[in-house]
Structure 1
Amino acid sequence: MTIAYWCVLASCLLPLLAVGYAKFLSSDSDPKNYDNNNPRDYLAKLKGDGQRALWAEKNTLEAMPLFFAAVIIAHNTGADQATLDALAISFIGFRLLYIYLYISDKATLRSLSWFAGLACCVAMFIISA
């Protein structure tokens, strides 16, 4: 399996980091009162960094289909593997940074990180041409 494919798996785990932070580590989370029978009710009450972590989770889920498509198409068209792997690793790095910046409430840097991740996906399509 290529590094880019391993990055697809890594991208599937990124939302778990964000929601895990929201549930158990955010400033207003209370793990003792977490209700696994009604997790959405518990999460809906979060504010501040917990709420931003949930928003980061949702945005990360939204970014996954484009990344998946870009990796698969690049593989299927025989794009240069080293370049593809570098772009996939960069995408994961930018998404990790994005989650951190979102939780930390650094909106401008967060947006730049989001754009950089998008640029990685676009570049994967370009190297597939």
Structure 2
Amino acid sequence: MSTAYWCILIAAALPYAWVAIAKSAVPGYNNKDPRGWIARQDNYRVRNAFAAHQNALEAFPAFAAAVLMAQLAEVDPQRVTWLAMAFIGLRILHGVFYLAGSHALRSLSWFGGIACVIALMASAASRLAG
């Protein structure tokens, strides 16, 4: 189960990796007004990296809750580990596809990630129901 917990840590750190890319994509980042600076950028890499940052922040709570739910429900640890690792791989791809401007692959990786979350939550719910 410790691998799944490491995956929670990685998922928590991913948004900050994407925002670091956004802030370093063009010179002149202004830490006095970071949101205003982002809003004024017309560089697609800045916008896409920041969007990946926001989406990673949005995805984190459900993933962390799903892993913890599965652990508390005593779902098979190997299943939890594989789903958690798949989520991380898909979320990394999601950010990469965001940066590359590959909309279809980005959406596909997003869907795969949410499917992992749903599978973890459903596994926990069915374990407790039966």
TM-score norm. by structure 2 comes to 0.91
Q: Distance in 1 between matches of 2:30 and 2:49?
A: 18
Instruction: Give deviations 1:1-28, integer Å, cap 9, x for gaps.
Output: 611111111101100111011110x2xx
Which residue pairs with 2:13 in the alignment? 13
- Give the unaligned 5+ runs of structure 1: none
Matching of residue 59 in structure 1 with residue 55 in structure 2: yes
Instruction: Give deviations 1:41-60, integer Å, cap 9, x for gaps.
Output: 22222221110111111111
Segments of 4+ moved more than 4 angstroms: none
User: How many residue pairs get matched?
Assistant: 124
- Give the unaligned 5+ runs of structure 2: none
Kindly report the root-mean-square deviation, in angstroms, between the aligned alpha carbons of the 2 structures. Answer: 1.1
Q: Tell me by how many angstroms 1:127 deviates.
A: 2.0
Identity of aligned residues (%): 39
Superposition map of 1:96-115 within 5 A: 96-115=92-111
TM-score norm. by structure 1 comes to 0.91
Secondary structure of 1:34's match?
A: coil
Q: Distance in 2 between matches of 1:13 and 1:60?
A: 9
Matching of residue 49 in structure 1 with residue 45 in structure 2: yes
